[in-house]
């Protein structure tokens, strides 16, 4: 009851594969897609395949570019030894995108004719089949290409246990700490920024992507990952437009989720520890611990900007400074945060800073 991708390594070989498939199954309905087709023709073939008017989509590796077809449960890759490991990984990811069991077949002419690198690539793609194994595959690809032990314990610590993104963030923090502490005299005019990545957002209603909006668990997981990694308002707007284009108007819960992400992006740059929305009140908790220059220069700028906002007031709970601001709508809340950010965005520290305190987690 599923459908099949058959992938050729070249456009020239597609006709021969088509004849061979029809020789095996004369009733097979085959659509052909590759990069030399006119855009309108390519779109028509893909639409007919989506409508299940074809059993097989015979294509080049063009299908690796984000095709999401949950009904496709099998992919056959011809001359798999000619593909790179990243290409094989992306192609394999085009199936298994629903609750239906999926299969990936890698077809080669002869194992005896394979060189060592090609054989290792095929073994790697066969070995790493778990969800989220892309990082391990990337490391194996580097080993196959001869990158050596760059990410091994000898040079970089236990990056495999940390994960690449966490390792990269820790490395960035260490470099920034060196620039602002031990070698501050080399960067006297460096712009000092304090981004609180551990910010917490509290919203009064559910913020999620409902299963009724995005039915497949794997797809929802991918969108959640994109939203988690989103770091700029422009990127968030692109995600919003993609969701609308693919799934239609956003339901209330999804709008609330994107609102929360937007609060996180701007609030983190302001340096807030927590942003809480309760009815018509937005409470912004300023950081318990931050670099001294934050309180010397950034905090006064926030106080001055808050003085221009009607009804805004500061209060202190224990050692926490909280800014309470009345808001009319979600867009009003975003507008206020942008005002606070704009007030601090031009600040530079002209003297060497004191040691940077650890951001509270």
Provide DSSP, 32-43: EE-TTS-HHHHH
pTM of the complete model: 0.51
Rounded to the nearest 10 degrees, what angle do helices 217-229 and 233-247 cross at?
A: 160
Task: Tell me if 266 sits within 8 A of 336, measured CB to CB.
Answer: no
Share of residues in the chain with pLDDT > 90 (%): 44
Share of residues in the chain with pLDDT > 70 (%): 82
Least confident of 24-38, 112-126, 155-169, 237-251: 155-169
Q: Is 173 a residue whose pLDDT tops 60?
A: yes
Task: For residue 263, give Cα distances in angstroms to 137, 203, 253, 309.
Answer: 35, 10, 15, 18
Task: Give percent helix, percent strand, percent coil of the chain, each to the nearest 5.
Answer: 45, 15, 40
Q: Is 352 a residue whose pLDDT tops 70?
A: no
Task: Tell me if 265 sits within 8 A of 232, measured CB to CB.
Answer: yes
pLDDT band at 117 (very low <50, low <70, confident <90, very high): confident
Least confident of 32-41, 79-88, 163-172, 324-333: 163-172
Higher pLDDT, residue 137 or 1 = 1
pLDDT at 111 (0 to 100): 77
What is the total residue count of the chain? 361
- State the DSSP H helix or E strand holding residue 313, giving kind and residue range, or none if neither: strand 313-317
Neighbours of 357 (CB within 10 A): 13
Q: Is 323 a residue whose pLDDT tops 80?
A: yes
Q: Is 30 a residue whose pLDDT tops 80?
A: yes
Give me the helices (H) in 184-329, please. 217-229, 233-247, 252-270, 292-293, 299-306
Q: Is 74 helix (H, G, I), strand (E, B) or coil?
A: strand
Q: Is 114 helix (H, G, I), strand (E, B) or coil?
A: coil
Q: Alpha-carbon distance 199 to 316, whole Å?
A: 18
């Amino acid at each position: 009851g599923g459908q099949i991708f058959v992938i050729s390594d070249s456009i020239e070989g597609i006709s021969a594969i088509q004849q061979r498939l029809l020789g095996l199954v004369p009733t097979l309905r085959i659509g052909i897609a590759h990069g030399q087709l006119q855009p309108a023709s390519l779109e028509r073939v893909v639409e007919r395949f989506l409508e299940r008017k074809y059993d097989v989509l015979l294509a080049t590796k063009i299908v690796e570019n984000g095709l999401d077809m949950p009904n496709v449960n099998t992919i056959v890759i011809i001359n798999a030894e000619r593909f790179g490991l990243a290409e094989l990984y992306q192609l394999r990811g085009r199936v298994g995108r629903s609750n239906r069991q999926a299969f990936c077949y890698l077809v080669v002419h002869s194992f005896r004719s394979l060189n060592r690198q090609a054989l290792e690539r095929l073994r790697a793609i066969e070995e790493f089949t778990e969800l989220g194994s892309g990082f391990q595959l990337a490391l194996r690809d580097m080993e196959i290409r001869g990158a050596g032990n760059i990410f091994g314990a000898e040079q970089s610590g236990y990056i495999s246990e940390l994960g690449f993104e966490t390792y990269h963030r820790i490395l960035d923090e260490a470099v920034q700490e060196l620039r602002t502490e031990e070698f501050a005299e080399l960067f006297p005019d460096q712009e000092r920024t304090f981004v609180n990545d551990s910010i917490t957002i509290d919203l009064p209603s559910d913020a999620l992507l409902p299963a009724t909006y995005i039915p497949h668990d794997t797809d929802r997981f991918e969108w959640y990952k994109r939203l988690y990694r989103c770091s700029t308002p422009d990127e968030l707007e692109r995600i919003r437009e993609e969701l609308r284009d693919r799934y239609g108007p956003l339901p209330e819960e999804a709008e609330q989720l994107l609102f929360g992400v937007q609060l996180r992006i701007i609030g983190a740059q302001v340096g807030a520890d927590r942003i809480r929305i309760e009815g018509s009140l937005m409470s912004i908790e300023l950081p318990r611990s931050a670099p001294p220059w934050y309180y010397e220069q950034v905090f006064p700028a926030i106080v001055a900007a808050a003085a221009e906002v009607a009804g805004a007031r500061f209060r202190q709970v224990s050692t926490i400074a909280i800014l309470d601001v009345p808001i009319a709508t979600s867009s009003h809340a975003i507008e206020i945060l942008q005002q606070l950010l704009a007030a601090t965005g031009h600040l530079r520290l002209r003297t060497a800073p004191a040691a940077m305190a650890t951001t509270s987690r």
